[in-house]
Structure 1
C-alpha cells in the first residue's frame, strides 16, 4: 500500500497533452465556455422564458449543466491539483474541504434567500398564485422544523436547488480519487467508471425528500464521471485529441443524427418533413430512456457532450488562440471586449450562479405581472445578462482585495 506523504506524486504519469499536463494557469477556453454556460443557465431558469426554446438542451441530449460540470472539473485540476502536488494529500484535501464549506453555505444561503422572497410575495403581495407551491416548497412552509434539519443534512433537496448539492458530492469524492491517483491513473479511472456504472444501475439513489421516493435530480455518483473527465484532461492524465477534419465531421454527424432522439423540438421539425421517420424514432424514445437519463447522467448525454466539447475545442484552436483577440481594427476591439466579459463571468462562476438562480425568480415574477411578449422577454433576458456581468466584475473586485494596497 502506498504511503501518502507531502511528496507523493499525484500526476499518475501524465501523458503529453495539448490541453495541459499538471496545469497551473487558467486556460482561456475553460473560463470562456463556463461563462457561456452561466448565461444559458440564467435563461433556462427564468419561468415562462421563451428564449429557453433555443438553448442547447433543445437540440440534443446534453445541456449547459454538462458544460458547467466539465469546466469545473478542469478548473479544479488547476486549483486543487496544485495543492495536492505542492503540499501533499492532507493539505490538498484540506483545500477541498474548505471549498466544500464555501459551496455548502452558498447552497444554504441561496435556499433561504429565495424562500424569503417567495414568502414575502405570497404573504404580502395579495396574489392568487402561490409562488411557494410553484417551487414545491409547500411542505417546507407547512412543517419547517424537520425540513430545516433535512436541508442542512442534504436529505431534503428541494426542486430548483439541486445543482450545488451535486457539486458538493463530487467535490467530496476528490480526495478518494487523488488518493487512488497516487497509486495509478488506471485505478482512478476504473473507480470513476465503476461508480458511474453502479449509479446508472440505480444502486446509489439519494433521497431528496422524506415524504416521497423522489431522488436528487443530479446524482453526484453519476455526474462525477464528467467532472473527472475534465479533471483528467487538465491534469494531463488523458491526452488531448488531435484536431482533424475527420473527427470534426464525425462529431457533427453524431450530433445531427442523434438530435431527433434527444430533442422533442428537432423531432417535431422532423415530423413535419417525414412523419414516417419521426414515428419510427418516437418509438425508440422509451428504449433510450436510461441512456439519456439526466439524474444518473446516461451514456448518451456523455457521448453527446464529448462531441460538442470536441467541436468547441477545435473551434477555439490550439491553446485557445482564437479566444484571444490580437487584431487592431474595430471588429477586433469589440470581439476582445466580448471575450473579456464572458471570461470574467466564467472566472466568477459560483458567485454568478448563486446570484443568477435568485435573479431568475425575480425576473419570472416581474414577467408574471407585466407580459411575456417578445420585446419584454428579450429585454428581461438582456437586463439579466447585464446584472450577472456586473456581479462577476464585483466579485472579481472583492477577490482582488484592493484595500490591501491602498494608502490612507
Structure 2
C-alpha cells in the first residue's frame, strides 16, 4: 500500500488540470510479499503435504490467494496504470489485452503439461490410485473433444487450474473500471462493490463444467474487489491508512479472535479444550454460511470472496505494511545487509520470486504435482517432507532467476 500521489488521469475530469507522473518503480513490499505468497502457494499445492498444515490459511479466513490477487492489483497499477495515464484509454486497453493473451496461454500450457505429466505417471508407474483421477481430470480423457473446446473457451475449468482464469477475468475488467473512475471515483467504487455483492448472492458467475452447474472456483466478479483495492492504493485513488497503535491493536485483535471462526484447526483445539465453546463456534460457522438472502451466501466463502475474507486480509495486510516500515524501510535495511548476509540472501531470493510471479506461479503449480509423486515414491515421513519442500523452494527460486535472465534479453547488444 504505497503512498503514491494520485494520478490526475484517473481523477474526476472536472478537477484534473494536468496529468501526473505515473508510478514507474516497484515498491519493495510488493515484491517481497508476493514472493512469500509464491512459496506458500507451492506448499499448499503439493498433494498431502504436511507443511500445508501450518500455512496462514490454517489459522484464519484468508490465505496466499489474497496476497497474490492484492499484490497483482498493485503491480497492475504500476505496469498498466501508467500506460492509461500517458498513452490514453485505447492504448492502455491494448496493453491489458496483451497481458490477458499471455495469461491465457500460460493457463492452457499449464493444463496440458500437468495433464500429460499425470497421465505419464499413471502409464509408467501404475500404483493403487490414479494421479489423473486425483486431479479430477478423468472427464478430459474420457471425452477430449468436448473438454478441449471447453478448455479453450474457459467453460471447462478444473479446480486445480482456476486461479489464472480468475486473474484473466479481473484483468479484463480493468479498462472498464478505469473508464468508470474517469467519470468519477465514486462511480468506480460503486461498480466494484455492486459486482462483488452480485457475485456473493449468486447473480454473476461463469460455468466451470459442461456436465454440471458448478461455477469457477474463483469468481472474478467477487475477487475483483480485492484486486482493485490494491490497484486503488497504488494509484492513489484512496489514501493509505495511518500507522498508529490503535489500528495495529484492532487488526491484531481481529486476527486472533476470528481464528476459531475461520480455521478448522483452531476450532479443533478449542473443541478439545472446551466442548461447550466449540459447539457455540460451530453454530457461528453455520450462521456465517447460510443466510436468508440466498442459500449459497457465505460471509467466509472463498469462491465469491466473502466479506470476512476481505476484512481478515486487510487486517493482515495492514500489520505487514506497518511491520515493513515507511516505504518498506525495514525491508530495505535487510536488503542492504545491515542485519547480516543470510537475511539479505533470503530477501533477495524472495524478492526475485515476487518479481517473476507469473512464471513462478505456473511452474510451481506444474511441479507441485510432480513433487507429490516424488513424496509417494520416497515415503511420507518428516525427513522426506523437508527434503521435497526445500527442493521445491530451490526450483521456484531458480525459475525466477532464469525468467529474469530471459526477460533481460542478454543477446541484445547494449552498445551502439
2:213 is equivalent to residue 201 of structure 1: no
Q: CA RMSD in A?
A: 1.9
Q: How many residues align?
A: 396
Q: Counterpart in 1 of 2:24? A: 24
Select which of 353, 371, 382 maps to 1:363: 371
Distance 2:233 2:140 in 1: 41
1:7-406 alignment to 2 at 5 Å? 9-12=9-12, 22-289=22-289, 290-325=298-333, 331-405=339-413
Distance 2:306 2:348 in 1: 34
Shift of 1:334: 2.0
Does structure 1 retain, via aligned residues, the 8 Å contact 2:337–2:343? Answer: no
Does structure 2 retain, via aligned residues, the 8 Å contact 1:11–1:237? Answer: yes
Structure 1: gaps of 5 or more residues: 1-6, 14-19
Distance 1:297 1:307 in 2: 15
Shift of 1:282: 0.9
Q: Deviations along 1:64-115, whole A, 9 cap, x unmatched?
A: 0000000000000000000000100000000000000000000000000011
Does structure 1 retain, via aligned residues, the 8 Å contact 2:56–2:64? Answer: yes
SS in 2 for 1:176: helix
Shift of 1:330: 7.6
The TM-score with structure 1 as length reference comes to 0.94
Structure 2: gaps of 5 or more residues: 1-6, 14-19, 290-297
Q: Deviations along 1:193-233, whole A, 9 cap, x unmatched?
A: 00000110101121100111211000000000000000000
Shift of 1:304: 0.3
Shift of 1:333: 2.4
Distance 2:319 2:154 in 1: 37
SS in 1 for 2:62: coil
Distance 1:308 1:382 in 2: 26
Distance 2:54 2:79 in 1: 33
Q: Deviations along 1:25-82, whole A, 9 cap, x unmatched?
A: 1000000000000000000000010000100100000000000000000000000000
Q: Deviations along 1:153-173, whole A, 9 cap, x unmatched?
A: 000001200000000000000
Distance 1:21 1:259 in 2: 42
Distance 2:262 2:176 in 1: 34
SS in 2 for 1:283: helix
Distance 1:125 1:353 in 2: 27
Distance 2:62 2:405 in 1: 33
CA 1:222–1:328 in structure 2 vs 1: closer, same or farther (change >3 Å)? closer
Distance 1:273 1:165 in 2: 42
SS in 2 for 1:62: coil
CA 1:11–1:145 in structure 2 vs 1: closer, same or farther (change >3 Å)? same
The worse-fitting range, judged by mean Cα deviation, of 327-336 and 25-34 is 327-336
Q: Deviations along 1:261-298, whole A, 9 cap, x unmatched?
A: 00010111112332211111111111112000000000
Q: Deviations along 1:277-335, whole A, 9 cap, x unmatched?
A: 11111111111120000000000000000000000010001001110126987843222
Q: Counterpart in 2 of 1:4? A: none
The worse-fitting range, judged by mean Cα deviation, of 328-337 and 264-273 is 328-337
SS in 1 for 2:299: helix
Shift of 1:23: 2.3
Does structure 1 retain, via aligned residues, the 8 Å contact 2:78–2:234? Answer: yes
The TM-score with structure 2 as length reference comes to 0.92
Does structure 2 retain, via aligned residues, the 8 Å contact 1:21–1:237? Answer: no
Distance 2:70 2:337 in 1: 34
SS in 1 for 2:340: helix
